[in-house]
Amino acid sequence: MEQSRLLSDGKYITLGAILTALVLFNLWNPTSALLSAITFGCYLIFLGQNLGQKIMPDEKKFWQKIFGVMLLIGLQTIILSIVYWFYRIDRQIIAAVIIFLPIGISFLKIPAIGGSASGGKCASPLADLSNDFNWESYAGTKSYLATKLLAIFVIGGQILLIITLWNKRFSDTLVSPWTIIGPRFFVVFVITTIGLLWVLQKSKHTASNLLLIILHATLILSVAVIIFKIGFGFDPFIHRATEKWILEHGSIEPKTPYYLGQYVLIILTHLTTKIPLAIIDKIIVPLVAGLLLPLLTYFSLSRAGFKDKLYPAIALMPLLPLSYFTVTTPNNFAILIAYFIFLLIWREKTCSQSNTFWLGLVLCLTTIAIHPFVGLPTAVIYFASYLFKAGNKTKNVIMAVIYPLILALTLPAAFYLNSLRNGGGFALVNPLSHLTNLLLLFAKPHWVWLDRGNFWWQALYIYRSMIKPLFVVTAIIGLIIIIKKYKNNLPKFVFLSAIGLFVSAFILSTSTKFAEVIMYEQNVYAERVLELMLVLLVPSFVLALREFFIKIKKAGHKQFLAALIFSFLLLISWYFTYPTRDAVAFHTGWSVRQADINTVNFIDNLNQNKKDYIVIANQLLGAAALQEFGFEKYFKTATGEHYFYSIPTGGPLYQYFRKMVYEQPKREWMESAMAIVGVKKAFFVHTNYWAPAAEIRDQAKLEADRWWELENGRVWVYEYKLK
């Protein structure tokens, strides 16, 4: 029997009103971050519990809370994105959402307590997470204590590794986090991982297993967040600057139909918790991924009937380097939610409940709000999964032909429509003339020079090139096993979806051209589609590994050998999850330094905060300027608006930076750049890591009006004025 909370539960109304009032008080008053975060967390959990009861009435409260909170956050994100698109976002709008969502949830009819059975296939996946040992058996007691002591050792190793990373936080010139990490760190990781895999193979089905996996996953995905003190990458600086601008001004022009979901969610979280916006932006994807990847993978696959020996297989998910979950960007955030949707498909195949459709729908809309170029194909996959399950054999045969084609054309069509909307330069080209672009997706990176390394370095990077193909082969084996051994047809749908995504990547790499994207970034969209395809295959990869652990579960020596081998393989994958700089790899993806922050402020102070100049510099200086000044200064020109630093890399000002460093640092180029935006003063910034550093430095001095050496020779600033 179902009943409305609003009409039947006075305690619910009272507690809900109190929590809502506290959140509103914190929203409008300068309370502490700790108190605000706890209050907002209680608000989410309380309302999420009620949503969870509606969509998953047969689950235990733990899972109802998790999925209910996901649904609640998704609803908040969708509503705020729509409001922002048509109006703006501010405290008043957020307050309205905080007030009216609980009221709407109150009208939902929730199953009465005790009115829902929990037997059959839909029994709670946590029902077996109890420590049931026969304490009268000496052997059982000995095994129990040994496992628990080893688990404590594993936690100790994980904490030690995290502390080591924290002590290595760096704000100077850095390409790879591994260049400041000693070999003992990796030894500790291998030993800890061996202990983890041994515990997961030997222990009972306990919740502590999931805790160990979560800690390990969070460790693996948080290296960049911890090490790079100022920030990692380039794109996150742009998005943080946008979020800060929207927070201060309510909106940013021009409004675009992408990224909104991330922006409004981070602003909502910042205002309701008082946690600094930059911290939320940096940690949200790595933290959520580390927590929910293991939890939801276990939930969905165990619910689909694959519980036995699932823990060690889940712990080995990072054998595929999950680089896209190490840093927060809308693309990465959307891929993370897409993975949750793919997991939901696995659950719904075995435990179909109509209510979970609303969870899938909200997650799809949330993904589209965050990044439509990930959300649209994900939504096509999710809705098609319902047609595949509901159809008969004839319909499924028809679907096998039509569905991959629709999925493959979804993104090209979306890009075309977006180009019509904003007048962008999107064009179709002859795919036969651009087949090499497809091959470039699988080519060895240009910064890897195998001939410079010894045998071991060469072997390591050869294995690197094999990781993704081995992952795909293993996932396909998993799909085949599930079909033949478990008589489950869902793998056929997964395979069709993977084909559709691959064809989409083929079209984007060989048949499309983006006029405003620099040449070496033309394939970026095709690469992201392949990333989505790999994420789609992660559950089948996990299930293939699970079958391996089932086969060796009665052979102790094989279990230890497996723990040893997989620990080293996981270390290698972890190494390649982040940029590398070693005897073979010469990656040049530098990070923003404190020196860069100081430089942009030096130039600004030099001009008395009057931004009547342009700066020709690499994109990291542009990122530093975005962090310090936001979108404060743009120049309106005949070719559009241009930021006063030379970003983006596809813009006209950046081409003059390329001329200055790759041809010759001539005054002529600087005057041409000034002519584009109509200013009389420009600065060229050269950094010590841009080779040939000394040659460029000395040549630039010859024609500059003035120059300065900053940060002990890390940066040189050259000033040019029109006569």
Work out the pLDDT band at 392, boundaries 50, 70, 90. low
Q: Are residues 492 and 388 in the same domain?
A: yes
CA distances from 229 to 170, 171, 595, 624 (A): 5, 5, 13, 13
DSSP for 279-328 reads HHHHHHHHHHHHHHHHHHHHHHHHHTT--TTHHHHHHTGGGS--GGGSS-
Percent of the chain that is helix, strand, coil (3-state, to 5): 70, 5, 25
Question: Taking a C-beta distance cutoff of 8 angstroms, is the pair 501, 377 a contact?
Answer: yes
Number of H helices, E strands in the chain: 27, 10
Q: Which residues pair with 684 in a beta bridge?
A: 616, 718
pLDDT of residue 8 exceeding 70: no
Q: Among 524, 548, 575, which residue terminates a domain?
A: 575
Domain boundary among 114, 140, 163: 114
CB 526 within 8 A of CB 508: yes
| Contact call for residues 667 and 720 (beta carbons, < 8 A) | yes
pLDDT at residue 589, as a whole number: 80
For the record, the structure tokens of 72 come out as: 């609640």
CB atoms within 10 A of CB 52: 27
Lowest mean pLDDT among 375-384, 438-447, 468-477: 438-447
- Is 106 in the same domain as 214? no
Asked if the structure places residue 161 within a domain, the reply is yes
Q: Which of the four pLDDT bands, split at 50, 70 and 90, describes residue 361?
A: very high
Nearest to 270 by CA among 100, 19, 90: 90
| Four-residue CA torsion sign, 87, 89, 93, 98 | positive
What CA–CA distance (Å, rounded) separates 144 from 156?
19
Q: C-alpha distances in angstroms, 167 versus 155, 227, 593?
A: 18, 8, 17
Report pLDDT for 417: 82
Picking from 314, 364, 311, the residue whose alpha carbon sits closest to that of residue 70 is 364
- Give per-residue pLDDT as tens, 297-312: 999 999 888 989 999 9
In a domain, 137, yes or no: no
The reported pLDDT for the residue numbered 122 is: 40
Q: Across residues 385-398, what is the average pLDDT?
A: 73
Residue 445 sits in the same domain as residue 413: yes
- pLDDT exceeds 50 at position 544: yes
Average pLDDT over the chain reads 88
Model pLDDT for residues 324-360, shown as the tens digit of each residue: 999 999 999 999 999 999 999 999 877 655 578 999 9
Q: CA quadruple 199, 205, 208, 214: dihedral positive or negative?
A: positive
283 and 363 co-located in one domain: yes
| Structural element, H or E, at residue 720 | strand 715-721
In a domain, 125, yes or no: no
pLDDT tens digits, 635-657:
998 878 899 999 988 789 999 99
Strand partners, 428: 512
Domain identity same for 453 and 355: yes
pLDDT score for 397: 76
| Residue of 7, 2, 120 whose CA lies nearest to 53 | 2
Question: Rounded CA gap, 209 and 206, in Å?
Answer: 6
443 class by beta-carbon count within 10 Å (0-12 exposed, 13-18 middle, 19+ buried) = exposed
Tell me, rounded to whole angstroms, the distance of Cα 714 from its chain centroid.
32
- Check: CB of residue 602 under 8 Å from CB of residue 685: no
Number of domains in the chain: 3
Phi, psi torsion values for 250, nearest 5 degrees: 90, -30
Are residues 275 and 184 located together in one domain of the fold? yes
- Whether residues 94 and 168 fall in one domain: no
Count CB-CB contacts under 10 A for residue 723.
5
**Letter for the amino acid at 218?**
T
Whether omega for the bond prior to residue 254 falls within 30 degrees of 0, making it cis, is: yes
Rounded to the nearest 10 degrees, the angle between the axes of helix 490-510 and helix 330-350 is 160
- Over the stretch 241-271, which tens digit does the pLDDT of each residue have? 999 999 999 999 888 888 999 999 999 999 9
* CA 562 from centroid of its chain's CA atoms: 29
* 394's tokens: 């004839």
pLDDT tens per residue across span 421-438: 766 666 677 777 778 888
Q: For residue 337, give both structure tokens.
A: 């939610």
**How far is the C-alpha of 528 from the C-alpha of 320, rounded, in Å?**
15
Q: Are residues 485 and 373 in the same domain?
A: yes
**What pLDDT digit, counting tens, does each position of 511-538 carry?**
877 655 554 456 788 999 999 999 999 9
Check pLDDT > 80 for residue 498.
Answer: yes
> Three-state DSSP class for 644?
coil
Nearest to 363 by CA among 277, 280, 292: 292
Q: Greater confidence, 78 or 423?
A: 78
Is the peptide bond preceding residue 692 cis, with omega within 30 degrees of 0? Answer: yes
Torsion, CA 265, CA 267, CA 268, CA 270, rounded to 10: 120
Question: How far is 402 from 506, CA to CA, in rounded Å?
Answer: 17
Residue range of the domain that includes 389: 149-575
**354 or 224, which is more confident:** 224
CB count, 10 Å around CB of 540?
Answer: 25
For the cut 80, the answer to whether the pLDDT of residue 495 exceeds it is: yes
CB atoms within 10 A of CB 294: 24
Asked whether residue 371 is domain-assigned, the answer is yes
The model's confidence at residue 401, banded by pLDDT at 50, 70 and 90, is confident
Residues 187 and 278 in one domain: yes
What percent of the chain clears pLDDT 70, i.e. is strictly above it? 90
554 and 494 in a common domain: yes
CB 140 within 8 A of CB 204: no
Q: Which residues, 6+ apart, have CB-to-CB distance to 382 below 8 Å?
A: 341, 344, 345, 360, 364
**Does 568 fall in a domain?**
yes
Question: 144 lies in a domain?
Answer: no
DSSP string over 583-596: SSBB-------HHH
Residues 227 and 375 in one domain: yes
Give domain status of residue 126, yes or no.
no
> Could you give phi then psi for residue 500, rounded to 5 degrees?
-60, -40
Q: Does the residue 282 lie in any domain?
A: yes
- The token pair at 134 is 């026969």
Residue 123 binned pLDDT confidence (cut-offs 50, 70, 90): very low
Helix (H, G, I), strand (E, B) or coil at 506: helix
**Beta sheet of 715-721, edge-to-edge order:** 614-616, 681-687, 715-721, 706-710
More confident residue, 591 or 95: 95
| Tokens, residue 581 | 């700089």
Q: 600 and 569 in one domain?
A: no
Which of 545, 575, 605 represents a domain boundary (last residue)? 575
